[in-house]
Amino acid sequence: MASGYGKGSASNDKRVFKSFLNELLSGSPRQDIDYNNKTLRQRSRLLYMTEPLAASLVNNPRNNVVGLGIFAKPRIDFETIGISKEAAEKMQVRFEKEFRLWAEDKYSCDAMGMNNFYGLQQIAFTSWLLSGDVFALFKSFNRTPVRPYGLRLHIIEADRCCTEGNRSGRYGIVGTSADGNQVYDGVEVDKNGMVVAYYIASSYPSDYNYPDKDGLKWQRVPVLGIETQLPTILHVMSAERPDQYRGVPFLSKVIEPLLQIRRYREAELMAAVIQAFFTVFIEETDDSNGNPMFNEPLGDNEEKSTNEDELELGPGNINFLDKGQKANFAQPTHPNSGFSAFCETLICHIASGLGIPKEIVLMCFNSSYSASRAALQEAWKTYRMFRKWFVDDFCQPTYERWLYEAVALGRLSAPGFFNDPIIRKAYSGVEWVGQSQGMIDPTKDVKAAVDAITAGFTTAEAETVRLYGGDIYQNIAQRGHEIELMKEAGMLQTQTFAENPVNNQS
């Protein structure tokens, strides 16, 4: 007997559920995700390239989560290591300068020599949004006096991770490794469900112009190095289900409405263009003496048609019709007055489904100050989550891998680094600082931050990062230098920041 949800959302008798395909059951992540990933990736990328709204849904998170880059600010746990705070601060400055030596040079960090570390962040994050996941392979190059580090990153798109032998380009193929492990769409999993290796194709499976004359080849890349037990490859993805080994493109849930919006916009645009045309049709009669301008546009830059029977709509076009022919036009009411409201409602549904307010997606802030501020705050809840996830999957593992080499080469002094994992973790602490949230009304935001600092709800360091994405310690040092210069120039300083933190312009 039906009871509980059986009389509600699980009912098979209600008319509303008759066409809900209740006989089709949801399958495993491999069935629901892996088998459909190729189609989802292709459609997501196509919409990104052809639909401005889809581009905004990808570019807005990228610009706010990564922006100009997510920068490393080493934060050494000096208490665990057993050193003084002053010594740790000196080490942090040295660590940061050494990491910048590697990260800011595209020939030092990118295996392709195309981007520095912050450019690689943008590529990796965008690729995750469009493809569902992305891979970063650690490679080792020769060291030189100019570039003392051999570590390089090679960003690999999701398509190239697939089950060995899959030359058709079809995804979701399940195979078996030499050890008897299952391989789900290029991800090798042991009997406990642990990911142990990835299979990377030498080119895209759907690309028949393989660089290698022998055709497509696969390389098995273990997750951890045999001797060092350090990561050899990073898999950047966000799972939505247990037992899921491949990611889902960010736009997957809104592909259909995005496509319909594109079609609707194109149809409305074409209708408005045609409505604006002034085209003349002249019907030929028995008394006509010929047609000196037969079906050709009047514009000098218009290409003339080679087909004499072709009729053209265009601004100022004159078309001559044969005897008995007559041109009839429908009377469309364009532009459609409901177009904007309908599209805005649909965009609101799409944006909310992805956790981004429509004001942010449309880059249009026509509402009140409170509404715009609320939209910005809600968007940053999503952006902070994305940044934390991206730092954990990409930035922090890369930093730790670089730090391992830096200490091993003796370029950084870190006593006990190789002896105790806890000590190594203490040296590896980093605060990752990226694009700030931004302010709608800087005066109100700064005053609120000062009040919160005074009340002890937050710190000056945290507010500096939140409001401006800066470093308060560098600000204090620079500000002190500026004040000394102003004193030397005879410019009196009558107040300190503590006395009047808001109004004091010094």
Residue with the larger pLDDT of the pair 3 and 269: 269
**What tokens does 121 get?**
């962040």
pLDDT tens sequence across 279-288: 666 666 665 5
The per-residue pLDDT for 181 is 86
Residue 127: its H or E element: helix 117-131
Q: What is the value of pTM for the model shown?
A: 0.80
Residue with the larger pLDDT of the pair 117 and 216: 117
The per-residue pLDDT for 275 is 72
Average pLDDT over residues 3-30: 71
Q: Closest by alpha carbon to 502, among 456, 442, 437, 457?
A: 442
Report the range of poorest mean pLDDT among 7-11, 133-137, 145-149: 7-11
- The reply to whether 167 and 225 lie within a common domain is yes
Return the top range by mean pLDDT from 31-45, 286-300, 438-452, 470-484. Answer: 31-45
- The reply to whether 164 and 286 lie within a common domain is no
Domains of the chain: total? 3
- The reply to whether 219 and 278 lie within a common domain is no
pLDDT band for 502, please (50, 70, 90 cuts).
Answer: very low
- The reply to whether 128 and 246 lie within a common domain is yes
- The reply to whether 450 and 306 lie within a common domain is no
| End-of-domain residue from the set 227, 251, 275 | 251
pLDDT tens sequence across 30-89: 888 888 888 999 999 999 999 999 999 999 999 999 999 999 999 999 999 999 999 999
| End-of-domain residue from the set 194, 217, 251 | 251
| End-of-domain residue from the set 219, 251, 283 | 251
Q: Measured between alpha carbons, how far apart are the two ends of the chain, in Å?
A: 78
Average pLDDT over residues 241-261: 91
The per-residue pLDDT for 457 is 84
- The reply to whether 182 and 273 lie within a common domain is no
The per-residue pLDDT for 402 is 96
Beta carbons within 8 Å of 362's beta carbon, 6+ residues apart: 56, 344, 347
Residue 252 is classified by DSSP as: G
User: Cα separation of 217 and 379, whole Å?
Assistant: 43
Average pLDDT over residues 98-107: 95
Residue 236 counted as domain residue: yes
pLDDT tens sequence across 368-413: 878 888 888 889 899 999 999 999 999 999 999 999 999 999 999 9
Report the range of poorest mean pLDDT among 177-186, 291-300, 359-368, 473-482: 291-300
- The reply to whether 230 and 108 lie within a common domain is yes
The parent domain of residue 323 ranges over 264-329
Backbone angles phi, psi at 152, to 5 degrees: -135, 150
- The reply to whether 154 and 281 lie within a common domain is no
CB contact at 8 A, 380 and 437: yes
User: Cα separation of 343 and 349, whole Å?
Assistant: 10
- The reply to whether 133 and 192 lie within a common domain is yes
- The reply to whether 137 and 239 lie within a common domain is yes
Strands (E) across 163-232 are located at: 174-176, 182-184, 187-189, 195-201, 218-222
